[in-house]
Structure 1
Amino acid sequence: MSTGYENFLLEIKPATEFGEQSSDDLSSEWDTDDAENLSKQTLKKKVSAWGKIRTIVHQLTPFIQTYKKQRYPWVQLAGHQGNFKAGEKPGTILKKFCAREKEAFEILMNDSLRPFVPKYYGSDAEDDYIELEDLLGRFGNPCVMDCKIGVRTYLEEELLKAKEKPKLRKDMYEKMLQIDRTAPTSEEHQMRGVTKPRYMVWRETISTTASFGFRIEGVRKSDGTSSKDFKTTKSEPEVKVAFKSFIDGYEHIVKQYLERLHELRHALEQSKFFSSHEVIGSSLLFVHDSKQASVWMIDFAKTIPLPNGVPPLRHDVPWSVGNHEDGYLIGLTHLIKIFEELIQ
């Protein structure tokens, strides 16, 4: 049995974003079949663990099962099963285990950011899951939007590792061609390949990530339509059109979004967690229905503590290799500006 929160994330997020990634995984960010690349041996180990969870879920009362069927009629997209499961109790989801994310949630539960993240109910590394609040449970037929925050989506360590042994990657060259045939240089065209560091940096420039500090990952409207076609949404007018479409018919809840974003910014300024962590690949989840709207911070698989000796991060200054800045507040500032303009 699946939940609305689960299905929205499965629709818009590549499988590699749900767990710890190696730098090699990063090259598959826009692939839709990464989950199928797991080895048979790894899959066999996880089958029994998830089988136990499925058994528990199926043994829930008929009332709960009926409730979930009526409440969450959304459809999973192929290729992403296995990253989220229905929780063992109503109002929860099970997310594939990630040690970094587990550590982040344990700290966040006692931080000023506590009201802005899903409730964390614990984890089971043996059964390979962490248990979180289902953020969509309080909404009726919600509209949902995922915005990835920050000026980059890769860790510094991933970039440095890729630079250690640079080699031409044909697969990344072909991805560049699919997005923009003029992106590769004449030399790269001739070699029919690009290096991974070159691809990683370029990828952030084709959307609003590098310029605005955020990008839209996906949107699902209350009528069931969804879109992930924002990879090259780069200009300010294009972004505003996307946000206007998202709140179309629900203009009365824009003020709630703006108030929540201001509250989040204040909490971030007070947060010890935020000043001491590099927050990469995290998202803001926007959710509203006809009566209410809210925003949460989600996805902490790439959130890591600062190395010893690195001063607290500001999050609102440009990134350069070595300063560990992520541009989180740059993105939040632009989002606040957009909602202020929507009210006007």
Structure 2
Amino acid sequence: MNLLDIRNLSIELVNKQERTLAVERVSLAMKEGEVRGLVGESGSGKSLLAQAIVGVLSDKWHVTADRFHWRGKELLHLPLDERKAIISKDVAMIFQEPMACLDPTTTVGEQLEEAIASSMLSGNFWQRRKQRKEAAIRLLHKVGIKQHTYCSKSYPHQLTEAFCQRVMIAMALARRPKLLIADEPTAAMEATNQSQIFRLLASLNQLKNMSILLISHDLENITHWTNTITVMYSGQFVEAGTTEQIFNQPLHPYTQALLDSSLNANSNLPAKSRLMALPGSIPILQHLPIGCRLGPRCPRAQKACVNAPKVKNYHGHQVSCHYSLKELY
């Protein structure tokens, strides 16, 4: 049984006069202990999908799905409070902007201690305060913060964004979630710190059997840490498969373009040469193309692309394209 099983999830932005389909019929499944990458350009709907899973979208976003199962239980049929109680217990999320997520009026130590569930403590109430402090220090050490005293007594604005991101990771780990959603967890960090965080997530996956949904715009970077990858473009599902399938045999023109624009693919280019890239930019919500949203930028686009393509399955390697690259292999 899948830990998370979402089929044909759509997210609409509801304004006074119109409804805009920001995410269109995206499916996502995760098994226990799996590390899945969710990849796409900024504006592709990755963070919206993650926030819909956690249940933190505001009322202006309307979420529908044919199936939204968490450990076999259909969540969309439950009252909102009950759904949030289930998700908050088993799912944690590391948000993309840590400064905006931390309370500026409370010290980092107090916020981290508050994130530790009472069920993880033992003894009488006067012993639990000390246990919370000790648990908070262990979490800070786990994410690579050695100056735990300075960090605990500081307010978010007194720390760098990289420090705040580590604190957010520590808060996410405090409840020992079964699924950790990491939305660009290393965006504000240097390369050495990025590797440390990725190794931490990998060890949690291996030692605690924690499932991880790793969201990134850098396809090449996350191939070292994931088992499977799902690619999105402008709110639509593009391709999904094992990391080896996606990296070595991409079937969608957009996935191929992401790989062609990576540093490794362009390492032999002469100085000041143009990098490989698709023409144009990702469309805005107010002017989405009909059918396949990659159509205006796609080098293989034809008349049929004005209709939304159906998902094709090649032995577990899924692609949503009228003219996939399958025939090239």
Using the size of structure 1 for normalisation, the TM-score is 0.28
Please say which structure displays the higher CA radius of gyration: 2
Q: Larger strand proportion, structure 1 or 2?
A: 2
